[in-house]
Structure 1
Amino acid sequence: MNMSTAPELLEAALPDRWIDGESSVFRENFDRKSFEVSHHLASHPLFQLPQLMDLAERTLKTRPLDLYYDMGDVAPGQKWKDTNRNFSPLDALRQLEDSDAWFIFRSAQKDPAYTELYRQAMAEIKEMIGGDLNSRIMREDIIIFVTSPKRTTTYHIDRECNFILQIHGEKELYLFDREDRQIPPEEEIERFWTIDNNAPNYRPELQNRALTYRLAPGNGVHVPVNCPHWLQNGDNISVTLSVNVQFIDSIRADIYRANHYLRRLGINPNPPGQSAVRDRAKAMAYSTASAVRRAARSALKRGG
């Protein structure tokens, strides 16, 4: 797609409203429980494969770190660090039917063609959630996933809560209860927030505890922060839009980080939520220690 044609395509394609749902459902369940939504983005021209190829080319030139890709026969329990990235992403996109590849277009709204799409989708979601949501947000963006037929997206948890909106193809989302402390254990959440994005481990013997959502063009699912999940693509190329919100939730994150270091000292710490006094003390202690470390590093860089 030539960038000069993007406004005309957008003007012809924009519906009055993109995301449907009951405001009460959004307000009651947002970042608490998963729930289904519907949308009108499946026919949007910016999600067609030729336009996504153009987006990939532009992203590789201007923001290469915002295009993640890997290839191979991946199992749910496999870690992202163990996947194959030794290939040309553009060649894999051109041969998506057979390349067994997975692409993540991070922060797609930074591309001018996708900025208005991001603004409208985020505005509609915020309207339905209501309240002073903006004061809680640290970061928001949209991510586009493009997946080869039958490809698996590995088991993981996210720092963001998101709305997964299916655009093309069908896939199954397996979503676990974040409050079930076998899925995942406290230790894995602590490591995730502190040192290791790959900390959560898939346990196939607990797969029957997952909720199964069938994603098809026009529907989607809200996934709260830290809800473990993995996805299995159907026998089709899949395009999925994720609308993401990351909260200013440093206190809860710092409690997990403090617990990680306490555990390394041989202490079995209480998880967040059991004692407000202990939670505040741990978060403050970790925050203070982090500030001291940052100041020390800054002084060393200055030669002080």
Structure 2
Amino acid sequence: MEMSTVPAVHDATLPDKWIEANSSVFRENFDRMSFEVSHHLALHPLFQLPQLMELAERTLKTRPSDLYYDMGNVAPGQKWKDTGRVFSPLKALRQLEDSSAWFIFRSTQRDPAYTELYRHAIAEIKDMVGGGIESKISREDIIIFVTSPKRVTAYHIDRECNFILQIHGKKDLHVFDREDRQVLPEEELERYWSVDHNAPNYRPELQNRARSYKLVPGNGVHVPVNCPHWLQNDDNISVTLSVNFQFIDSMRADVYRANHYLRRLGINPSPPGRSSLRDRAKVMAFSIANALTPLRTDPLSTEPLSQARRSEGRK
């Protein structure tokens, strides 16, 4: 089984506008709830497997930490630390049909061949958001995911505001409401922002609370910050583009971090947003202890927590 070959096309054959969304749905749900979008990037030549193999080779030579991969059968509730590798990334990519692999090409805009694609895509999203969003963003990124047939991407949450655009193949995306505390308890959010990107736990008995989308070439889904989600690839090779950014506002994250340590002291802290006075006091107290907090990373971010905290407040 091979990914269907698509004739190479020049960027000029693409329409001026790449990403489409219902404007009223966008305004109402942006960074609140998931919703579907459409796009015109499925024929873009930079997403063909030969070009992605070249990208992998260049990335391994110049930015090896920006190419993550793992292999094997994965269940929705499995943790990143429980995945493994059998052979080299280039071999796994060449044998994608049978390697049960999942690849993440992080910060693809750092590769000169993809820089203009990044600029165009991120500019369109900023234009759709409007409202001075530029001043609220601390970090922008495009990530390419390449996935073997039937492979699962485990349940997780992200610190980024995501637009997941399907390029090749089909897969199912299941997105949960981040405000549902049975799905995502406060304690798991606190641990996520403090010490453990593996903190959110999949609860199969609550799967019916997810909003499910069939991703096909030409459509995509907006996934807000911290909305739990997982994916099941169809019996095909899949290529997916994530256009995403992180917000500057660090107060909510730092309140979660402060609450994590308060809970360890036996205190039952109030969630962020209940009292602006308490939130500010927690942030101030947390900033004093910040340097003592353990570091950690996850497959979707190479940035240690202490560095991430510093970058949240800086553009």
Give me the TM-score of the superposition, normalised by structure 2.
Answer: 0.88
Q: What is aligned with 2:210?
A: 210
Q: Which runs of 5+ in 2 are unaligned?
A: 1-7, 294-315
**Which has the larger Rg?**
1
CA distance 1:203–1:292, shift in 2 (3 Å)? closer
Higher mean C-alpha displacement, 283-292 vs 25-34: 283-292
Q: What is aligned with 2:227?
A: 227
Asked whether the equivalents of residues 53 and 90 of structure 2 are also in contact (C-alpha less than 8 Å), the reply is yes
Asked whether the equivalents of residues 11 and 44 of structure 2 are also in contact (C-alpha less than 8 Å), the reply is no
**AA paired with 2:43?**
S
Asked whether the equivalents of residues 169 and 234 of structure 1 are also in contact (C-alpha less than 8 Å), the reply is yes
State how 1:291-302 maps to structure 2 within 5 Å: none
Asked whether the equivalents of residues 72 and 85 of structure 2 are also in contact (C-alpha less than 8 Å), the reply is no
Higher mean C-alpha displacement, 83-92 vs 61-70: 83-92
1:27 is displaced (CA, Å) by 2.5
Asked whether the equivalents of residues 14 and 40 of structure 2 are also in contact (C-alpha less than 8 Å), the reply is no
The C-alpha deviation readout for 1:173-231, integer Å capped at 9, x for no partner, is: 01111000011111111000000011111111111111101100000000000000000
Q: What is aligned with 1:16?
A: 16
Counterpart Cα distance in 2 of 1:81 and 1:94: 24
Q: Which runs of 5+ in 1 are unaligned?
A: 1-7, 294-304
Counterpart Cα distance in 2 of 1:150 and 1:69: 16
Root-mean-square deviation (CA, aligned residues, Å) is 1.5
Q: What is aligned with 1:67?
A: 67
1:251 is displaced (CA, Å) by 0.4
1:140 is displaced (CA, Å) by 0.5
1:291 is displaced (CA, Å) by 6.4
Counterpart Cα distance in 2 of 1:265 and 1:119: 46
Q: What is aligned with 2:30?
A: 30
Higher mean C-alpha displacement, 20-29 vs 140-149: 20-29
Work out the number of aligned pairs and report it. 286
Q: What is aligned with 2:123?
A: 123
1:90 is displaced (CA, Å) by 0.5
Counterpart Cα distance in 2 of 1:179 and 1:91: 41
Q: What is aligned with 1:284?
A: 284
- The reply to whether residue 255 of structure 1 matches residue 255 of structure 2 is yes
Q: What is aligned with 1:49?
A: 49
Counterpart Cα distance in 2 of 1:117 and 1:86: 33
**AA paired with 1:237?**
I
1:13 is displaced (CA, Å) by 4.3
Give me the TM-score of the superposition, normalised by structure 1.
Answer: 0.91
Asked whether the equivalents of residues 166 and 218 of structure 1 are also in contact (C-alpha less than 8 Å), the reply is yes
Asked whether the equivalents of residues 13 and 44 of structure 1 are also in contact (C-alpha less than 8 Å), the reply is no
1:10 is displaced (CA, Å) by 4.5
State how 1:16-165 maps to structure 2 within 5 Å: 16-165=16-165
More helix as a share of residues: 1
The C-alpha deviation readout for 1:82-127, integer Å capped at 9, x for no partner, is: 1012421101111111110000000001000100001001111111
SS in structure 1 at match of 2:91: helix
1:14 is displaced (CA, Å) by 3.6
Counterpart Cα distance in 2 of 1:10 and 1:165: 19
**AA paired with 2:107?**
S
